[in-house]
Structure 1
C-alpha cells in the first residue's frame, strides 16, 4: 500500500505564501527601523566587501561623527595626493582669482581645483545630507564619482566612540590647499589639506594633512586624537608664529606686548601654524608657542586647527577672546589668537594693540 502524502489545495498554498510574506515583512520592517537596516543594505550592495557604494544607497538619518572623522581623514589624504601630483608635475596652471582685503593677489592652481574636487565629492557622496562649505567652486560637469568604502582606520576605532548627531546640525569646512601662494613658490613644507566638522557652529572634528611629508593630524573634541600638544611655552622668550605676508605688522606690537626677546616666526598656511603648537614628528615643522593673525581670515583656513586645539585643551579665539562660530559667513573678522598649555585669557589681556590693528586691517 503506497504511503499517504499531504496534499495542499491551491487555496492552502496561497494562504501559506501570504503568511510567509507577512513574517518576512515584519522582520524587514524591524530592520529598517534602525541604522542596522542601512548597514545591512550596504553590505548586500557590496559595501561589506569593500566596494564603492553610490550615495543614494547610503542610510539616511543621524550622522555618526566617528564615521565622518574617518571619511574626513580619507578626503584630506586624497586631496593631498592631487596637490602633490600637480606640484611634482610642475604644471600648476596658475592664475589669479581675485585680491585679498589687503590688496594681495589670491592665486589658484590645478592643485587647488583637483584637490577640491576629490575632497568635496568624497564627502558629499558619503554624507549627501550634510552641508559642505569649500574654498573653491565645484562645477556640476566635473562631478567626481568617488565613494567611501565604509572602512574606519584602526587608530580611530581604538580612540573614538560612535556618536550620532542630527545631519542638519553639521557643517563641513574644506580647505583643499592651504598656503597656495607658498605652493606656487615650491615651499612645500607650508602646504596642507584640511577638513573640519562643526556641529551647531562649534568645531568638533579637525583634520590637517601635510601632503609632502605624508603626515596627518586628527582630533575630535571629547573624543580622542593622534597628536599631542607641546608643553614648552616660554613666558620670557615666547615664539610667536605669524603670517609671512603680515610679519612686519605683527612684529612691532608683539615685541611691545611680550618683550624684546620675543621670537617672531613668519610662516605660510594656517594649518602649518597650528601644527607648530603641537608635537609633530616632522623635521621641517617649526615650533611655536603662540599663533597670532591680525587680519580677516576665512573659516576654512582655521576651522580644522580650531577643532584640533580644542580637542587637546587649547584655544583659538579672536583677539578679544571671543569664540569663533562656524556658521553664517565664511570669514572671521576679529583676528586670531591660538595657544595651548598656557593661560589663554592672560594672552588676550595683553593684546589691546593687536585688536586695534585687526580692525584697521579689515
Structure 2
C-alpha cells in the first residue's frame, strides 16, 4: 500500500502563508521596537550592521573615551606622578615632553574605542603597545543629551578617528591646568564630522556632530574689524607679527597652550571668560589629532577651520598638517584668508 501524503486545501495553504507572514512581522517589529526602546530608555544601542558605523554611537563612545582619558590625566597630575621624559623636538626646536598622564590616558582612550569599533582606523598621538592592552569597554549606552542626535550609518572603511590623549603637555608639566584637554575627532572620507573636547580639571565637555547637533554654541558677537587673535605660546612671535601687519597695531594677541583650548576660546564657554578670542591662527606644522576635533566642532556650529590659504584640511593620509590654519566662526572667513594672502604676497616682493 502506497504511503499516504499530506495535502492542503487552497484554504489551508492561504492560512499557512498568513501564519508565516505574521511570524516574520512579529520578529521584525520586535527587533525595531527593541532598538527604539534601547535609545528612548537610555539602554544599550543595538549593534550597527556589519561594515558600517553609526555616527551617533561613535559620538557617544568618543565622549566617554575623552572623559575616561581625562580622569587619568587628572589623577596623575594631582598625585604628582608625571614621570616626565623627553619625547623629541618639534620642527621649531622646542623640546616635546611625555608624561605618564599622556600614556595612561592614551591607553584608556584607544582601547575603549578600538574594542567598541574594531574595524575603524584609529590614529593616536602616543605609541600603543599591543602587549599592554587595556580591558575596557563601552556598554553601548547613549547619554540623554546625545539621544536627540539622529543615527547615521556610514561605511566603516570611510571613518578615521584621531585621538589626542593629552593636549598641552608642556602646560600640563607646568601645572597650567586650564589649558589641558583630551580630544577625539572623527572624519568621514577625510572630512571632520565628530568632535569632542574635554577639560579634565573642570569636568567640562564640548561635543558636536556635523549636521547632527552639539551641546555647545557660538557666542552672540565677534569683533571682525579688530579681532582678538589666539596663538600658540611656544611661537607667538611669528603669528603676532603676521597678525599685527594684517589687522593693525592695536590687535589683541592672546598666547595660549593647546589647540583644544584655542578652539574653545572662540565659543560660548562661561569658564573661559578671560580667554575669549575671535580668530585662531597657527602658522606652522601641526598634527591632525590636535585639530580634527576642533575642526568638527566649529564646522558643526557654522564656523570654519582651513589652511592659511583657505583650503579645507583633509583628515586622511599622514598625521601631519603642513599648511598652518586659521579658524573662525560668525566672521567672514574668506575675508580673513584674503587679508593674510595679500600680506604674504606683499612680503615676498
Q: Normalised by the shorter chain, which TM-score bucket?
A: 0.7 to 0.9
Q: Which has the larger displacement, 73-82 or 89-98?
A: 89-98
Please tell me whether residue 247 in structure 1 is matched to residue 239 in structure 2.
no
For residues 70-100 of structure 1, the C-alpha deviation after alignment (integer angstroms, 9 at most, x for no partner) is 0000000000000000000111011011111
Which residue, out of 105, 108, 133, partners 1:115?
A: 105
Which residue, out of 324, 327, 330, partners 1:338?
A: 327
CA distance in 2 between partners of 1:257 and 1:95 (Å): 39
Which residue in 2 is equivalent to 1:90?
80
Which residue in 2 is equivalent to 1:304?
293
For residues 290-312 of structure 1, the C-alpha deviation after alignment (integer angstroms, 9 at most, x for no partner) is 00000000000000000000000
Please tell me whether residue 166 in structure 1 is matched to residue 158 in structure 2.
no
Which residue, out of 309, 320, 341, partners 1:320?
A: 309
TM-superposed CA distance for 1:233, in Å, is 1.6
Which residue in 1 is equivalent to 2:121?
131
For residues 275-296 of structure 1, the C-alpha deviation after alignment (integer angstroms, 9 at most, x for no partner) is 0000012147610000000000
Which residue, out of 233, 238, 254, partners 2:227?
A: 238
CA distance in 2 between partners of 1:355 and 1:119 (Å): 40
Please tell me whether residue 150 in structure 1 is matched to residue 150 in structure 2.
no
CA distance in 2 between partners of 1:186 and 1:49 (Å): 37
On the 8 A contact 1:293/1:335 being kept in 2, the answer is yes
CA distance in 2 between partners of 1:157 and 1:284 (Å): 29
CA distance in 1 between partners of 2:199 and 2:139 (Å): 23
Q: Kindly tell me: are residues 283 and 328 of structure 1, through their superposed partners in 2, closer, same or farther at Cα, counting changes over 3 Å?
A: closer
On the 8 A contact 1:238/1:289 being kept in 2, the answer is yes
Structure 2: stretches of 5+ with no match in the other structure: 1-19
Which residue, out of 96, 102, 107, partners 2:92?
A: 102
CA distance in 2 between partners of 1:133 and 1:333 (Å): 18
On the 8 A contact 1:255/1:262 being kept in 2, the answer is yes
TM-superposed CA distance for 1:49, in Å, is 11
TM-superposed CA distance for 1:260, in Å, is 1.2
Which residue, out of 165, 176, 195, partners 2:165?
A: 176
Which residue in 2 is equivalent to 1:288?
277
For residues 251-274 of structure 1, the C-alpha deviation after alignment (integer angstroms, 9 at most, x for no partner) is 122111001110000000000000
When the two structures are superposed, what TM-score results if normalisation uses the length of structure 2? 0.86
CA distance in 2 between partners of 1:183 and 1:101 (Å): 21
Which residue in 2 is equivalent to 1:20?
none
Q: Kindly tell me: are residues 98 and 284 of structure 1, through their superposed partners in 2, closer, same or farther at Cα, counting changes over 3 Å?
A: farther
TM-superposed CA distance for 1:235, in Å, is 2.9
TM-superposed CA distance for 1:200, in Å, is 0.3
Q: Give the superposed CA RMSD.
A: 2.9
TM-superposed CA distance for 1:163, in Å, is 0.5
CA distance in 2 between partners of 1:332 and 1:128 (Å): 26
Structure 1: stretches of 5+ with no match in the other structure: 1-22
TM-superposed CA distance for 1:355, in Å, is 5.6
TM-superposed CA distance for 1:236, in Å, is 3.6
TM-superposed CA distance for 1:50, in Å, is 7.1
CA distance in 2 between partners of 1:161 and 1:236 (Å): 38
Q: Kindly tell me: are residues 165 and 287 of structure 1, through their superposed partners in 2, closer, same or farther at Cα, counting changes over 3 Å?
A: same
Please tell me whether residue 60 in structure 1 is matched to residue 50 in structure 2.
yes
Matched pairs, number: 322
